Structure 1
Amino acid sequence: MKNHFLSGLLQTNDKVALKEITRQLHLENVVGDKVFGSFAENLAFLLEALRKGDRTSSCPVLFILDEFDLFVHHKNQTLLYNLFDISQSAQTPVTVIGLTCRQDILELLEKRVKSRFSHRQIYLMNSFDFKQYIRIFKEQLSLPAEFPDESFAQKWNNNVQHLSEDKTVQDMLQNLFHYTKDLRSLHLLLMLAVSNVAVHHPLITASDLHEASKHYRMDSKANIVHGLSVLEICLIIAMKHLNDVYEGEPFNFQMVYNEFQKFIQRKAHCMYNFEKPVVMKAFEHLLQLELVKPIERPSVRTQREYLLMKLLLDNNQIMDALQAYPNCPTDVKQWAASSLSWL
């Protein structure tokens, strides 16, 4: 059996994924006199090569797609459709396995892709308790017996034992444990803490772990807000008020623009009075940053001002980000803190 591994983090679109499959199958670029040109030609050749196999003379092919949910976001899910379609063939020895942390993955598949999926799902859950989690924490940090500097290893391991018994460290680990039992999260936390080790700071401290926890749990979306312009901040606040007034119902750009205009008229500030195309450009930047997302696919009939959207920030994230936003105008903060939009 030939195993072929793809990762949604590395193969970010179908074209890149197809090149990687071609490389792993040793079919790169030239096969005989054939030179691949377009993506469509490459895909057609690959599918033909896979379909020529049979269960008696061919080596079975296993495709493992890690971070499977990221492949779902590829345009039209073309690669997934074709891989699942091939695997359904009785004579072709091809199997596709997707690995993901998302339990709602089937809802993300297009209808034509879902119809070709076998619907076989295996759920793997971590079953260890917090005591075992602490033990894993110690095992991951401890130095092995064969470590060359025996004296340092003993000091290090004694320090790790003390950390595992420290009440503040246990509380911090318990918060992480309740947040996620995924050991990759624990590994990341420990890596951040260990990165502080130096000649003048040879042992990890509880402070290192707490600082690492802050970095790990840092809200990346709130950090993006810190780098926005005041106009973009105002648009987010306008969306926040629309969410409050309409109880989370989707909105469009025109509604956001109208809400923003109410703020300008109320405060009578010419400094915020931007032309509509400029406001639209700022709104599109928020789309690119994935702070706002369309809930429907654009069509030629739908004007972009009326395309329904959803804000991907909650009120707490917005207010926390505004508190840390450098030199945020007072009236903008007051507008954000008001419970209802100005009517």
Structure 2
Amino acid sequence: MLRRKSIVKLAEDECLPEVQRILRERLSQKSVQTQVYGLDSQRRHLLDLMRRCVSMGESNSALVIGPRGSGKTMLLQSVLDEVKSDKIAKENLLQVNLNGLLQTDDRIALKEITRQLQLENTLGDKVFGSFAATLAFLLEALKSGDKTSQPILFVLDEFDLFAHHKNQTLLYNLFDISQSAQTPIAVIGLTCRLDVIELLEKRVKSRFSHRQIHIFSSLTFEEYKEVFVEILSLPKTFPERKFMQQWNQHVKELSEETMTVDVLQRLYHSDKNIRALKSFLLLPVCKLTPDHCQLESTDFLESSQYLTMDSKAAMLHEYQKFVQRKGHSIQCYEKPVVLKAFEHLQALELLKPADGGQRSQKEYRPMTLLVDATQINDALQKYPNCPTEVKQWNTQEVHA
């Protein structure tokens, strides 16, 4: 076990701020980890596709499909890092990144393609009759003097949103070009929609390769623990080598402690993707201070309890404590009375069933509130006989 005195001494030598900087940067959502865990077969499939495009000029298209946080971006970045490790491939490969949340129509998407390929001056004020003609001109402009073309990678994040563009013109043209032998391009779509193929028009489907790479992690618990240790370990390039060795040894020992293992097992069985693990580790890392200069099992237990807290249950528990206080004017009513009052709120159209009211018993129907928090707050402030306790409770909830 790492001795506390030696850790404190090294922390006073400004090691701890550097530790926090490294770990926070590693855990932030902006940091895309390129080490792939439990996705070996999917990685080989995508790597083979990319290599053929870059080295052999073979065009293709594929969809990477998986839940949010499952590692789609991480997988693609890992493949690109390996492809670009070859100097020639790195210099030749052009990459265009589009996002369905940002490029909301084909005109905006075309403008972004022009910007990323640095062809604004080439396009100039030219007027084209169609989207296809404009895109063809841009790709033709990239050809060198011997009429060969650089391979281009189009990454379409939130791919399903591009399917909502008018006539799906962008998708049709990209897939159409990927089937031709003129310009080597790879079109990679990232999406969490399992039914995304059903969103495509018939003419778009006919030009899509129908390659689908599904992201389902096969990470074992032992591998999951190894990822835990790797994320929290300091790199070999850390300035203080002795501190780095002691810190890494402590992290390894910590991963074998009973409390830590129990917490990690609960997290693994509920959500074993790496993004969830990073979110879980953020609180313990942020708690590091000169007075709390090493990670403890209790830090992970606290983080687990915080992440698994049910906000609605906590709110109801808080309300229950409130109505049980002495001296308040709020009364408790029987269930039939409450249900009748609830039906009255529906009759006033302040609430409505989220499912149309046909799929479940009235006691268990999901409801949609038709007024927002601001309207409720204004109404309570203007209501002359509103109990003070209700006003105070509303104020607490708004600030919360």
**How far 1:119 moved relative to its partner?**
0.7
Per the alignment, residue 50 of structure 1 pairs with 139
- Aligned pair partner of 1:153 in 218, 233, 244: 244
Q: CA deviation at 1:155?
A: 4.6
Match of 2:256 in 1: 165
User: Gaps (5+ residues) in structure 1?
Assistant: 224-229, 261-278, 283-325, 329-343
Q: Structure 1 pair 19/238, CA: closer, same or farther in 2 (3 Å)?
A: closer
Letter in 1 for 2:262: D
1:21–1:327 Cα change, 3 Å: same
Aligned twin of 1:129: 220
CA deviations 1:240-297 (Å, max 9, x no partner) are 8443159x99x9xxxx99xx9xxxxxxxxxxxxxxxxxx5x87xxxxxxxxxxxxxxx
Work out whether 1:109 is the aligned partner of 2:200. Answer: yes
Q: 1:144 aligns with which of 201, 212, 235?
A: 235
CA displacement, residues 143-178 of structure 1 (integer Å, 9 cap, x when unaligned): 234422345434533432343123333233223323
Q: How does 1:108-257 map to 2 (within 5 A)?
A: 108-213=199-304, 235=351, 239=355, 241-245=357-361
**CA gap 1:5/1:149 in 2 versus in 1, 3 angstroms:** same
Letter in structure 2 aligned against 1:85:
D
Listed one character per residue, the Cα deviations across residues 61-113 of structure 1 (whole Å, up to 9, x for unaligned) are 22122443444455654422321222233433332122345443323334443
CA contact (8 A) 1:3 1:64 kept: no
How many residues matched? 250
Scaled by the length of structure 2, the TM-score of the pair is 0.49
Pair 1:79-2:195 in alignment: no
Tell me if the contact between 2:154 and 2:187 (Cα under 8 Å) persists in the aligned partners: yes
Q: CA RMSD in A?
A: 4.6
Cα pair 1:53 1:91 within 8 Å, conserved: no
User: Are the aligned partners of 1:67 and 1:99 in contact in 2 as well (CA < 8 Å)?
Assistant: yes
Tell which deviates more after alignment, 196-205 or 7-16.
Answer: 7-16
> How has the CA–CA distance of structure 1 residues 76 and 185 changed in structure 2, closer, same or farther, with 3 Å as cutoff?
farther
Of 189-198 and 138-147, the range deviating more from structure 2: 189-198
Q: Contact between 2:100 and 2:162, CA under 8 Å: does it hold in 1?
A: no
Relative contact order higher in (CA < 8 Å, ≥ 6 apart): 2
Asked whether the 8 Å contact 2:99–2:157 carries over to 1, the reply is yes
| One-letter amino acid of the structure 1 residue matched with residue 135 of structure 2 | L
Contact 1:53 1:92 in 2 (8 A): no
**C-alpha deviation, 1:27, in angstroms:** 1.3
Match of 1:96 in 2: 187
Report if the CA contact (8 A) 1:142-1:156 is conserved: yes
Q: How does 1:11-26 map to 2 (within 5 A)?
A: 11-14=102-105, 15-26=107-118
Note the C-alpha offset of 1:142.
Answer: 1.2
User: Which secondary structure does the structure 2 equivalent of 1:165 belong to?
Assistant: coil
Gapped regions of structure 2 (runs ≥ 5): 1-91, 315-344, 373-392, 396-400
CA 1:145/1:116 → structure 2, altered by over 3 Å: closer, same or farther? closer
TM-score (norm 1): 0.56
Take 1:90 and 1:212, find their aligned partners in 2: how far apart are those partners? 54
Structure 1 residues 33 and 5: CA distance shift in structure 2, 3 A: closer
Superposed displacement of residue 141, structure 1: 0.6
The DSSP-based 3-state class of the residue aligned with 1:31 is helix
Matched AA of 1:4: Q
Q: Distance in 2 between matches of 1:192 and 1:36?
A: 54
Q: For residues 178 and 2 of structure 1, what CA distance do their matches in structure 2 show?
A: 40
2-structure distance, mates of 1:80, 1:59: 20
- C-alpha spacing 1:53/1:6, structure 2 compared with 1 (3 Å): closer
Does the CA-based 8 Å contact 1:13-1:75 persist in structure 2?
Answer: no
Write the letter of the residue equivalent to 1:169: T
In structure 2, C-alpha distance between the alignment counterparts of 1:58 and 1:221, rounded to whole Å: 57
Q: Distance in 2 between matches of 1:50 and 1:220?
A: 51
Determine if contact 1:8/1:69 at 8 Å carries over to the other structure. no
CA distance in 2, matches of 1:86, 1:178: 43
What SS class does the counterpart of residue 359 from structure 2 fall into? helix
| 1:2 aligned partner | 93
Q: 1:219 to 1:21 in 2, by over 3 A?
A: farther
Displacement of 1:236 after TM fit? 5.4
Q: Which piece of structure 1 moves more, 54-63 or 190-199?
A: 54-63
Residue by residue over 1:180-202, the C-alpha shift from the partner in whole angstroms, topping out at 9 and shown as x without a partner, is 44323323332343233233332
